[in-house]
Amino acid sequence: MTTISEEANSVIDIRRNRLRSSLILELYKAGQTSINKMARLFHASIPSATGIVNDLIKEGWIHETGTGPARAGRPPVLYGLNAQKYFTLIMDINRHDTQLVIFDLANQLIVRRQVDLKLEDAEGFLDALFSKTDAFLKFHGIKPEKLWGIGVSMPGLINAQIGINQTYPNLTRADQSLTARLSEYFQLPVALINDTRATTIGEHRFGLAKEKKHVLTVNIDWGVGLGILVNGEVFTGASGFAGELGHIQVQSDGLLCHCGKIGCLDTVTSGFALIRQAEEGIRLGRITILPQLLQEGERLETHHIIRAAHNGDEFCIDLLSRLGMELGKGIATAVHLFNPEIVIVTGVLAEAGPFISNPVEQAIHKYCLSDFKNSLTVRISQLGSKARLLGIQAHLIEHLVSKEFS
Amino acid sequence: MTTISEEANSVIDIRRNRLRSSLILELYKAGQTSINKMARLFHASIPSATGIVNDLIKEGWIHETGTGPARAGRPPVLYGLNAQKYFTLIMDINRHDTQLVIFDLANQLIVRRQVDLKLEDAEGFLDALFSKTDAFLKFHGIKPEKLWGIGVSMPGLINAQIGINQTYPNLTRADQSLTARLSEYFQLPVALINDTRATTIGEHRFGLAKEKKHVLTVNIDWGVGLGILVNGEVFTGASGFAGELGHIQVQSDGLLCHCGKIGCLDTVTSGFALIRQAEEGIRLGRITILPQLLQEGERLETHHIIRAAHNGDEFCIDLLSRLGMELGKGIATAVHLFNPEIVIVTGVLAEAGPFISNPVEQAIHKYCLSDFKNSLTVRISQLGSKARLLGIQAHLIEHLVSKEFS
DNA sequence: AATAATTATTAAAAAATATTAATAACCATG
DNA sequence: CATGGTTATTAATATTTTTTAATAATTATT
C-alpha cells in the first residue's frame, strides 16, 4: 500500500521495508529464489512473503524467471530481479586512467569506455569527469532517469562516511564532500569506495573468496593496499583507513618513503620500488634483456619487467622474487593479526603470477606460526580488474537498496 | 504462553524469543529502562513490549526498579534484571594462579577466591580444578541449581567455536573438547574465551573503551597479546587466532623465540624478555638497585623492575622505556591495519604506568601516519585485572541469553 | 497411463500485533 | 494550590500476519 519513498515511522512499515530490502538484496545476490525459501530465510510466513513479492512485481522490481528443480512434487516458481529496472554508472578512477561502465542489475556489463582522465591531474579533474561522463551517457543513449546511482572507486585514504578522499583533497570543497559534489551534479545517489576494498568485495561476491568470511586482498600497484573482509563485511576501521599495510616499517634503515617515514613496505614492494630497483640494476650493468624491450625514449614500466621475467630473464625473476619475499613478510604480519581463510593477490604485479605468488607463499610459510598456515590459502586473483568493477557495483547496489527502502 | 526451553519453530515464536533475548540483553547492558524505550529500540509496539515484560516478570527474570526522570509528564516505570535470578561462576585461569569468582546478574562480585592452580602444571589440572571448585562452592554455600553457567578465560590460542585451547592440548580429550568436559562435570553451559579478549570486552563494557567501536587492547604479560574489537564485537578471525601480535617478526637477526621463529616481538617486549634483559644487565655490572630489592634466593620478577623504576632506578627506567618503544612500534603496525579509536595497555607491565605508556605513545607517533594519530588515544587500563573478570562475565551472559531463548 | 507422493500456492480462519483513543500520573507554572 | 501541559499506561479496536486447511501442480512409481 505504502509507496517506497514514504517515510516509515510505524512499526509495520519499518518491518515491511526491512523485509522488502532483504528480499531485493537476496535476489541480487542469489540471482533467483522461490517464495518458500525467502520466507524461511527471513523468518516470515509464506503469505506475507507472497504479498511482498507481488507488490514488488507490480512496482517492476522483480519478475518470474521460471521454475526450479524439485526432488519431488511441484517445482517452485522462481523470482529474480528485473535486471532492466535500473542501470548503474560505475566510475573506476585510477592514477593513469579512468573507466566508465554501465551495468544492469544482473551485473551484465552494458557499456564500458576508457576515458583519458588521470587522477594525477587533480586540478580540474572533476569538471573533466562531469563533461566526459555526460558525453559518454549521451553517446550511448543512456537516459539519466534510467540510472539508479553512481558507484565510484579511487585509490587513496577514503573516508566513506563523510564521502571524501583524504589523499586528493582537491576533489573536495570546503562546503561540499566529493560525494556531495557528484551527487549534486548528476542528481543521483553516490557510493564512494577505496579501490582495494572494491576489489575485495568483488572477489568475495564473484571470485576466489566466495563463501569465505575472513579475507585479505593484497593490491600491488604503485603502492601496497590491503583489503579486509571481516565476517563477510568490508572492514574500514574508525576513520576508514584500516589496511594501510604499505606504510608499516619493515626496514629501520630503509629508504625515505613519499609519506615522510623511513623504510615503509611501499619503499620495497610497490611497482614504483620495482622500477627503481630495475633501473639501478641496469645502471650497475647487471645482465638483463630489459634495455632491449624498451623502445627509443620509452620509460621503463612494471609490465616490461614482468615480460622479461616470463622470458626467463634472471635479473627480473630475481627482482620479483625478492619483492615477493618482502611482501610475503608483510602479509605474514597481517595474517597474524587477522587470521584469514584466504589471501588474494591482485594488482598490476599479480600478472607476474608465480614469480610473485611463490615467494609470497614461501615467506608466509617462513614467517607465520603453523596454526595460521593450516587454514590458509594464498591465491592470485583470476578476475583481474573485473573484480574491482563488480565490487563497486555490489557495494553500490547494497547502498542503494538500504537507501531506497528506508 | 510458550515456555522458554520449548523449541521455537513457528515464525511467531522465533520473533518473540528474539525480542525476549534482546530485552534481557538490553537490561543487562543498560541496567534499567522503560517499556517505551525498549519498544522503540527494538521496533515493537508498546503493548507487545508490555506483554513480554510482564511474562518475564512472572518468570522471575526482571522486576520493577523504580521510576525514571521525566522532562515533563508522567515519569516512566523502569525495569531491571532480577540480579539474583541466577549467579555465574567465573574461572580466571592464568599461568601462575587461578581465580574463582561468583557474580550476580548485576555484575556484583559475590565471592572471590584465589586457588593454587597453575596452568603450567597441565597434567591433572582439570581434576584439581573440579575438586577445588566443588569445595569452593560448598564452602560458600552456592547451590549448583542457582548457577546459570560457567565463564572460563585462559591464555593461549583458543578456538571458541569448538571449545579447545590449542596451547594446552592436555586439557582436551580426543573425544571431548575442554568446554564439553567442564560442561559435563558441572552440568552447566560453558563459555570459553581467551584472556586478552575477555579483557577487551571488559574495557568495552565497563572501562575506557565504552561506546567505542574499534578498539585494540594490548596485554603485556609473559607474552604480548592483542585483543581486537571490530564494530563493537570481539574479532577472532577464521580459526580464533587473530591478534597474535607477539609473533610478528621485528628483528630479522633477533633471538630465537619459544615458538621456533626468530626475532618475534615476544622476544623483545614480553615480561620474560624484560627479566632476561635485566639479568643480563646485572651480570654486566650495570648500576642498579635491583639486586638490593631481592631477598636471599628470590628470583627476579617484573614487579621488582617496575618498583625500581618508580624509585628512580635509571637502568630499569631505560629497560622499560626501550621495551615501550619496541612495543609501540609493534602497536603502530596494528594501528595501521585496524585504524582503532583507542589503544588500551593492560597486563602486569601496565603497572609501570607512564614508564611504558609514554614511550609507547612516542613510538606510535613516530611510526604512524598522521591520519591515524588524529583519531587515536593511547591509555593505560584503569580497571586492571577486574576488566578481565567483568569481560568473562559479559561474554558468558551474552552466550547464555542467546542459548536460553533459542 | 494412472495413482501415490510430494511440494507449491491459494483461501479462509484464527491468532497475534499494532494503532488509536482514553485514562492516569505527574511536573511546572501562574 | 489549582490548572494546563506532558508523558506513561491501559483498554478497545482495527489491522496485519500467521496458521491451518484445502487445492493445484508436478514427479516418480507401479
The predicted-structure confidence for B44-82, as pLDDT tens digits, reads as follows: 988 889 989 998 998 999 998 888 777 777 788 899 999
Q: Please, is A223 exposed, middle or buried when counting C-beta atoms within 10 Å of its C-beta (0-12, 13-18, 19+)?
A: buried
Is some CB atom of chain B closer than 8 A to the CB atom of A237?
yes
CA of A226 and C1' of D28: distance in angstroms? 53
- pLDDT(B7) > 50: no
Residues A223, A338 within the same domain: yes
Please name the residue that has the C-alpha cell 611463490.
A358
Read off the CATH number of the domain in which B71 is found: 1.10.10.10
Indicate if B234 and B366 belong to the same structural domain.
yes
Q: Tens of pLDDT along B245-278?
A: 999 888 888 889 888 888 899 999 888 889 999 9
* B242 and B363 housed in the same domain: yes
Instruction: Characterize A292-329 residue by residue with b for buried, 16 or more Cβ atoms within 10 angstroms of its Cβ, and e for exposed.
Output: ebeeeeeebbbebbbbbbeeebebbbbbbbebbbbbbb
Contact at 8 Å (CB) between A288 and A349? no
Number of domains in chain A: 3
Q: Is B166 on the interface with A (CB under 8 A)?
A: yes
Of A336, A49, A97, give the one whose Cα is nearest residue A195: A97
Placement of cell 506475507 in the chain:
A48
pLDDT in the model for residue A9? 65
A42 CB near a chain B CB, below 8 Å?
no
The kind and range of the H/E element at B23 are helix B11-30
Give the C-alpha separation, B95 to B116, whole Å. 11
Rounded to the nearest angstrom, the minimum Cα separation between B385 and chain A is 24
Residue A365 lies in a domain: yes
Q: What does the pLDDT look like over B320-378, one tens digit per residue?
A: 999 999 999 999 999 999 999 999 999 888 888 889 889 999 999 999 988 888 889 98
Q: From B261, which residue of chain A is nearest by alpha-carbon distance?
A: A367
Examine the fold and report which residue of A57, A81, A105 is the final residue of a domain before the chain moves on. Answer: A81
Q: Which three cell numbers stand for residue A143?
A: 537516459
Chain A residue closest in CA terms to B231: A237
For residue A115, is it within any domain? Answer: yes
CA separation for the pair A234, A197 (Å, rounded): 7
Distance from CA of A216 to the nearest CA of B (A): 11
DSSP state of A105: T
Question: Mutual orientation of helices B314-338 and B354-367 as an angle, nearest 10°?
Answer: 40
- Name which of B65, B62, B77, B67 is nearest B25 in CA terms: B62
- The domain boundary residue, chosen from B43, B64, B81: B81
- Selected residue with higher pLDDT from B207 and A285: B207
Q: Quick check: B244 and A372 CB within 8 A?
A: yes
pLDDT in tens, B92-132: 999 888 999 999 999 999 999 999 998 877 778 999 999 99
Please give the residue range of the domain that contains residue A230.
Answer: 208-382
**Cβ of residue B374 near strand C, that is under 7 Å?**
no
State chain A's maximal CA–CA distance in angstroms. 77
Distance CA B302, CA A207 (A): 50
Calculate ∠ Cα B381-B382-B384, nearest 5°.
75
Q: Which of B41, B339, B368 to mutate to test the interface with A (most CBs of A within 10 A)?
A: B339
Q: Are residues B279 and B139 in the same domain?
A: no
Percent of chain A surpassing pLDDT 90:
56
B338: closest chain A residue by CA: A242
Query: Which pLDDT tens digit goes with each residue over A296-345?
Result: 888 888 889 999 999 999 999 999 999 999 999 999 999 999 999 999 99
Q: Given B15, B247, B338, which is nearest A237 (Cβ)?
A: B338
| Domain shared by B248 and B105, yes or no | no
Interface check for B227 against chain A (CB to CB < 8 A): the answer is: no
SS3 B282: helix
- Does B131 lie at the interface with A, CB-CB under 8 angstroms? no
Buried-exposed string A135-149: b where 16+ CB fall within 10 A, e elsewhere = ebbeeeebeeeebbb
Q: How far is the CA of A246 from the C1' of D30 (A)?
A: 70
Contacts of A11 in chain B (CB under 8 A): 43-45
Residue type present at position B327: L
B225 close to A (CB below 8 A): no
CATH number of the domain enclosing B297: 3.30.420.40
Tell me the shortest Cα–Cα distance from B376 to chain A, in angstroms.
9
CB < 7 A from strand D, the residues are: A 1, 12, 15-16, 44-48, 51, 67, 70, 72-75; B 10-13, 34-36, 46-47, 50, 70-77
Of all nucleotides in the shown strands, which has a C1' nearest the CA of A45?
D18
Distances (CA, A) of B161 to A65, B158, B172, B178: 39, 9, 14, 11
Which residue's C-alpha is at the least distance from the C1' of D29? A72
Cell of A67: 521454475
pLDDT in tens, A190-240: 999 999 999 999 999 999 999 999 999 999 887 889 999 999 999 999 988
Q: Cell for B318?
A: 631505560
Q: Is the pLDDT of residue A386 over 90?
A: yes
Residue pair A367/A239 in contact by the 8 Å Cβ criterion: no
In this model, does residue A6 exceed pLDDT 50? no
Q: What is the pLDDT of residue A5?
A: 32
Residue A220, Cβ neighbours under 10 Å: how many? 25
Other CB atoms closer than 10 Å to residue B283's CB: what's the count? 8
Residue whose grid cell is 616490461: A304
φ, ψ (nearest 5 deg) of residue A378:
-115, 125
Q: Give A4's pLDDT tier (boundaries 50, 70, 90).
A: very low
**Per the CB < 8 Å rule, is B245 touching A336?**
yes
A340 and A227 assigned to the same domain: yes
Asked whether B192 and B186 are in contact (CB, 8 A), the reply is: no
pLDDT over 80 (residue A8): no
Q: Are residues B183 and B57 in the same domain?
A: no
pLDDT in tens, A87-102: 999 999 998 889 999 9
CB atoms A248 and B213 under 8 Å: no
Question: What's the rounded Cα separation, in Å, for the pair A255 and A134?
Answer: 44
CA dihedral in degrees (B160, B163, B164, B165; nearest 10)?
Answer: 40
> How far is the C-alpha of A75 from the C-alpha of A66, rounded, in Å?
10
Cα end-to-end span (Å), chain A: 15
Which of B219, B196, B354, B326 lies closest to B268, judged by CA?
B326
Assess if residue A364 is contained within a domain: yes
Shared-domain flag, residues A230 and A92: no
Q: What share of chain A is helix, strand, coil (3-state, %, to 5)?
A: 45, 20, 35
Nucleotide nearest to A39 (CA to C1'): D18
Distance CA B20, CA A44 (A): 18
∠ at Cα B107 (B106, B112), nearest 5°?
A: 135
Q: Report how far residue B152's alpha carbon sits from residue B193's, in angstroms, rounded to the nearest whole number.
A: 6
Q: Is the pLDDT of residue A3 over 50?
A: no
Residue A203 in domain: no
Is any atom of nucleic acid chain C found less than 7 Å from the CB of residue A73? Answer: yes
Tell me whether residues A238 and B329 touch, CB distance under 8 A.
no
Is residue A47 domain-shared with residue A98, that is, in the same domain?
no
State residue B200's pLDDT score: 97
Q: Where do the DSSP E strands lie in B162-259?
A: 164-165, 190-194, 215-220, 224-230, 233-234
Does A81 touch chain B if contact means CB atoms closer than 8 Å?
Answer: no
On whether residue A1 sits in a domain, the answer given is no
Same-domain check for residues A395 and A290: no
Same domain, yes or no: A138 and A237: no
pLDDT for position A235? 96
Specify the pLDDT at position B9: 65
Asked whether residue A4 is assigned to any structural domain, the reply reads no
pLDDT at B306: 92
Residue A236: list chain B partners with CB under 8 A: 339
Q: Domain for residue B37, yes or no?
A: yes
Whether residues A169 and A183 fall in one domain? yes
Distances (CA, A) of B11 to A21, A343, B7, B52, B225: 19, 39, 12, 16, 43
Residues of A in contact with B10 (CB under 8 A): none
Residues B165, B125 contacting (CB under 8 angstroms): no
All residues of chain A having their beta carbon less than 8 Å from the beta carbon of residue B166 are 371
Please provide the average confidence, as pLDDT, over all residues in chain B. 90
CA of A39, C1' of D27: distance in angstroms:
24
- Quick check: is A291 in a domain? yes
pLDDT (0 to 100) of residue B70: 73
Interface of A with B in 271-330 (CB under 8 A): 329
